[in-house]
Amino acid sequence: MNSLDLILILILLAYAVSGYVQGFVVNLIATIGLLIGGLLALAIVPKFLSGNTATLSSSLLALGLVVGAAAIGQGIGTYVGTDLRNGLKWKPLRWVDAVGGSLLSMIAVLCAGWALGYSVSGTTIPYLSTASRDSVILDRVDSVMPARATSVLRSFNEVLDANLFPRYLDPFESENIKPVGPPDTATLNSPGVQKASRSVVKILGQASCQRGIEGSGFAYADGRIMTNAHVVAGVENPSVVIDGKRTNARVVLFDRKLDVAVLAVDGASVPTLTFDTSGEAGDDAAILGFPENGPFDARAARIRSEIRLRSPDIYDKGQVVRQTFSVRGLVRSGNSGGPLVSKDGDVLGVIFAASITDKSTGYALTASQVADDARAGVAATSTVSTGGCA
């Protein structure tokens, strides 16, 4: 248990006493008021803040508005419920009402705590994000919540989350970052890395949610570019920038679970990279791509560890287990889909996420993890749907 768990226990005890005093009828109507206020805020707040890039201040504002709206709804419900409870005169019924009120209050606290914890766990809000992920109580609540409950929170999560990558961990799973020596900058000067840089492209597009997207990708076969599925999610007509020229592309493979996509680029000549499945902890590497829609960028890196990450898919649904490398190196928005290459210039993995707790840590799908999609992408010729925005 952590400090947030202790705080939750104290709140549960306080609400248990309050619920006993107020009774079931009052708490039922108060809980309904809380839900109405909270759900209205969850629906309205994203519409006002979704056009802005999430920052710490905007995340706190959004969180405060939802909590405030829920509190107002609860207050109104308490006022209405008190009048109704005054009509209960029979003592045994009052006792049942009191016990029921205590139980309902605790359930309401756990559900509200889970919803807030789920939302802030993917953010950079100090203390709350880390404490929520490490909470034993919230993890237990999460295990019994219906899968569809998270869909209600999705648009609100996008407002709170300043991280432009999909979730790479389950909301209530601790991030285990293993220490490793600093990257060797000499790796960037190796002939293999220099050659590999010519195979990396920028990917651009307009998503169906009217949001411009940008990311990275790399050629791995004739006319085939690999990138992340979240880079092209909701994009009908993506394009790739090769040697400064924008070329139309088609998505022929879209794996929402592993977060892999393959683009077909007809008539383009780009040197291809080969995959290397021998990467392991301590290996020198380089992160190649076009971060933040800027020019080509290469960063020295070192593999921290190979780990299996459990998380939702790119649409924050279901559960996926990905074989990944935890990497020491700078990963920024726009590096998504770019390759993690060895000194020899071979692809060790595909960058897909950056840590929200450590700026010097990123994550790459291992070469062995993307192997099946790579083969399927070469054989695929038909354009496939890219779903909605991720």
Catalytic positions, please? 230, 259, 336
Which tokens go with 147?
């899968």
- Supply the Cα-derived Rg of the chain in whole angstroms: 24
Residues 6+ away with beta carbon under 8 Å from 251: 232, 235, 238, 261, 262, 263, 264, 383, 384, 386
**DSSP letters for 126-164:** TTHHHHHHT-HHHHHHHHHS-GGGGGGGHHHHHHH----
Q: Which residue, chain included where needed, has tokens 């929170």? A: 153
Q: Which residue, chain included where needed, has tokens 């509190």? A: 71
Which tokens go with 188?
């960037």
Given a contact cutoff of 8 angstroms between Cβ atoms, the answer to whether 366 and 356 are in contact is no
φ and ψ at 147, to 5 degrees? -60, -35
Q: Which helix (H) or strand (E) holds 41?
A: helix 24-49
C-alpha span between 336 and 362 (Å, rounded): 10
C-alpha span between 256 and 254 (Å, rounded): 6
C-alpha span between 146 and 5 (Å, rounded): 22
Residues 6+ away with beta carbon under 8 Å from 116: 63, 67, 132
- CB count within 10 Å of CB 346 equals 18
Rounded to the nearest 10 degrees, what angle do helices 3-22 and 91-120 cross at?
150
Write the burial class of residue 50 (CB in 10 Å: 0-12 exposed, 13-18 middle, 19+ buried): middle
C-alpha span between 42 and 70 (Å, rounded): 10
DSSP-derived letter for residue 294 is -
